[in-house]
Amino acid sequence: MIARIAVVLPCYCVRDRILGVLARIGSEVSLIYVVDDACPEGTGDHVERTSTDPRVTVLRHADNKGVGGAVVTGYRRAVADGADIVVKIDGDGQMNPALVPRFAAPIADGRADYAKGNRFYRLAGLARMPVWRIVGNAALSFMIKLSSGYWTIFDPTNGYTAISGRVIEELELDKVSSGYFFESDMLFRLGILRAKVVDIPMEAAYDGEASGLKIARVIGPFLIGYTRNGFKRIFYNYFLRDFSAASLQFVFGVASLLFGVFVGARAWAISLATGVPSTTGTVMLSALPVILGIQLLLAFISYDVASSPASAIHPLLGEPELDLPQAPAEEPEGREAGPGPTGVVASGRSG
């Protein structure tokens, strides 16, 4: 069975670039959804008036829902229209539409349920990436590994993704974060499903486009979200669904570490107040639980790393084996991306 591939493009203030992105989407894609997220530039109207690609459908939000809300709208419509694989591309031109087959391939052949881009795979490409993006992604990566359970992935905020339509149906989309935390929250929810996620090496183009993601502004909320999701995941996977030696390692590791830190802090405060150094026994009473707690938590993390999802789940959910559609050797000249109807509430394509 040939995979039916859909592309979702959330759009907000990308009127000047959206048609160029649409024109570069290859013939292997069957459906294209332009989601106008209450764009003040009228991107959706512009696409409808200008584009002639019969694959394009314009979906509209009356109010701005954020990039995550726009993607969820596209996901729902794509699944309703029978898409097997849904690829999300930004409308600002920083993501190369020619990579769609590369992202769809591991899902089509049953190796993965979700594929995401990784701009850090090729070191040569980092020279063109703004330094603040490198630092910001590095700061967030460990937290997303812990919160999602996907220890082998990197570049957590990368928005170039592909997902199985069958897995979309298993997700509680109403609970997914609608803002810039969307990609990270998706990984957490995929981890709860035990879906297989793979990184796809890619390069991003930086030609002066302004990114809406400001690392300094979001790093605080992101860290809070990662911490919350991390404890949820540990509770779901190690106490609610299962109970193992790793569960005990986590409980006793946290307890031992907190006990040691508390005893040490209390002894240090008393020593400062009285001027009397703490005894060797007091120091050991603090140091040993801290050391034991760290060792137990490292053992827990080692178990967690080894438990990362190893196989795709969508073939087990009833999805037939898929093949990628074959694009022609040469793209016909003059093909333009075309408009689609309106709606969030969307229309079906007008031709």
Instruction: Copy the structure tokens of residue 88.
Output: 């999300």
* Separation of alpha carbons 194 and 48, rounded Å: 39
Least confident range from 111-125, 204-218, 261-275: namely 204-218
Tell me the helix, strand and coil percentages in the chain, rounded to 5: 50, 10, 40
pTM here? 0.81
pLDDT, tens digit, for every residue of 75-106?
A: 999 999 999 999 999 998 889 999 999 999 99
The 3-state secondary structure of 312-334 reads CCHHHHCCCCCECCCCCCCCCCC
- Answer yes or no: are the C-beta atoms of 171 and 193 closer than 8 Å: yes
DSSP letter (8 states) at residue 127: G
Residues 231-252, mean pLDDT to the nearest whole number: 93
Confidence band of 330 (pLDDT split at 50, 70, 90): low
pLDDT, tens digit, for every residue of 5-36?
A: 999 999 999 999 999 999 999 999 999 999 99
Among 137, 119, 133, CA closest to 222? 137
Domain limits of the chain?
A: 5-214, 243-306
- Answer yes or no: are the C-beta atoms of 183 and 159 closer than 8 Å: yes
Other Cβ atoms within 10 Å of 331 Cβ, number: 12
Strand 56-60 relative to strand 29-36, pairing? parallel
CATH of 5-214, one of 3.40.50.300, 3.40.190.170, 2.130.10.10, 3.90.550.10: 3.90.550.10
